[in-house]
Amino acid sequence: MPTTPINGVQLNWQLNGNIGDPIVLVHGSWGDHHNWAPVVPALSRSFRVLTYDRRGHSGSERPEGQGSIREDVADLAALVVHLDHFPAHVIGNSFGASIVLRLAGERPELFRSLIVHEPPLFGLLKDDPNAQSMLSAVQERIAAVAELLKAGDFVGGARQFVETVAFGPGAWETLSQATRDTFVLNAPTWLDEVRDSEALEIDLGRLRKFSAPALLTVGGQSPPFFPVVVDRIAGALAQAERHTYAEAGHAPHLSHSDEHVRVVVSFIQGAAASSVGS
């Protein structure tokens, strides 16, 4: 894979497909571009698909010092501009979804559409009295993972995250060894993200200026706090559509890749048709 200096950091990236609109896939915490491997072959038959390792993940450089979600947003913008891979359909999962939404509020001209799955923007719940017990529970789970990582137990922390925050009890054993190894490798970057005071926040006022088509998705088997967060985001977007992967959880592109491809392609085709008709 090529590696390119972006904002002073070497980023690992890959392009697949040579026809159709550009697509950008932004992975979540703990993972890397390999997370998208189940869907890239099918998507690249109709689109030019860009995947990359975010800073601090796998093949990309992990700089010293405290990082921030602002840096991830700036990296994404600079990478697509450097590769002339815009305006694009930008797709993000988990923390990658948070990055995509922030970029949509800052640089809407880089988008044809956006698709995000379960962004962990739990700051949106802090002023909702009905969500306080839910917010407290997720904060406790995140803190427990962070304590394990601070103690140097990267395997235990990764397992704890998978089973209490992202996927559910028993999920760690269902992951491939390669996926588990990637989680452990990238654990320090997740801890860095947790220490970023802005990581779980977003300015909905900025997001309200985004007028391109948007698809917000959740998993029917995911923890209950994700749909509540997505509800808040949907209210800020002018063209928000919703989809629930009834049998999937926090990573439908991994667990239900065929359905994920169908949903993405159908939405993009609909967005394109709407653009032509407007």
Among the residue ranges 79-83, 162-166, 258-262, the one predicted with the least confidence is 162-166
Q: Which CATH number among 3.40.50.1820, 3.20.20.70, 3.40.50.11900, 2.40.50.140 corresponds to the domain 3-125+200-277? A: 3.40.50.1820
- Contact between 41 and 170 (Cβ < 8 Å): no
Query: Is the pLDDT assigned to residue 190 strictly greater than 90?
Result: yes
The CA distance from 266 to 54, in Å, is 27
The domain ranges of the chain are 3-125+200-277
Model pLDDT for residues 108-132, shown as the tens digit of each residue: 999 999 999 999 999 999 888 988 9
**Cα-flanking dihedrals φ and ψ of residue 178, to 5°?**
-65, -40
Model pLDDT for residues 201-216, shown as the tens digit of each residue: 999 999 999 999 999 9
Model pLDDT for residues 250-276, shown as the tens digit of each residue: 999 999 999 999 999 999 999 887 766
Amino acid (1-letter code) at residue 161: F
